[in-house]
Amino acid sequence: MEIKTVAIIGLGALGMMYGKQFADHLGNDAVRIVADRRRIERYKKEGVYCNGEPCAFHYVDADEQMEPADLLIFTVKYAGLAKAIESARNQVGPNTTLISFLNGISSEQMIGEAFGFKQLLYSIVAGMDASKIGNQLTYTKIGFVSFGEKDDARTEKVAALQQLFEKAEIPYEIPARMMHKMWSKLMVNTGVNQSTAVFATNYGGIQVPGKPRDTVIAAMKEVIKVANAEGVPLRESEIAGWLKINDALSPEGMPSMRQDTLQHRPTEVDLFAGTIRRLGKKHRIPTPVNDFLYTQLCKIEASYS
Residue 103 has pLDDT above 80, yes or no: yes
| Same domain for 44 and 165 | yes
Strand 97-100 to 71-74 pairing:
parallel
pLDDT band at 85 (very low <50, low <70, confident <90, very high): very high
| Same domain for 161 and 255 | no
**CA atoms of 260 and 131, how far apart (whole Å):** 11
| Same domain for 127 and 31 | yes
- The answer to whether residues 186 and 192 touch, using CB atoms and an 8 Å cutoff, is no
Give the Cα-Cα-Cα angle 219, 171, 102 (nearest 5 degrees).
45
| Same domain for 97 and 138 | yes
| Same domain for 211 and 168 | no
Question: What total number of domains does the chain contain?
Answer: 2
Q: Which residues contact 2 (CB under 8 A, 6 or more apart)?
A: 70, 160, 163
Could you tell me the residue range of the domain that residue 212 belongs to?
179-302
Element at 144 (helix H, strand E): strand 142-148
Instruction: Please write the tens of the pLDDT for every residue from 28-48.
Output: 999 999 999 999 999 999 999
Instruction: Please write the tens of the pLDDT for every residue from 231-271.
Output: 999 999 999 999 998 998 889 988 889 989 999 999 999 99
**CA atoms of 145 and 129, how far apart (whole Å):** 14
| Same domain for 187 and 145 | no
Residue 65 has pLDDT above 80, yes or no: yes
| Same domain for 212 and 146 | no
Residue 207 has pLDDT above 80, yes or no: yes
Q: What is the pLDDT, as a whole number, of residue 217?
A: 98
Query: 176, 204, 231 — which closes off a domain?
Result: 176
Query: 136, 157, 176 — which closes off a domain?
Result: 176
| Same domain for 290 and 209 | yes
| Same domain for 298 and 254 | yes
Q: What is the pLDDT, as a whole number, of residue 251?
A: 93
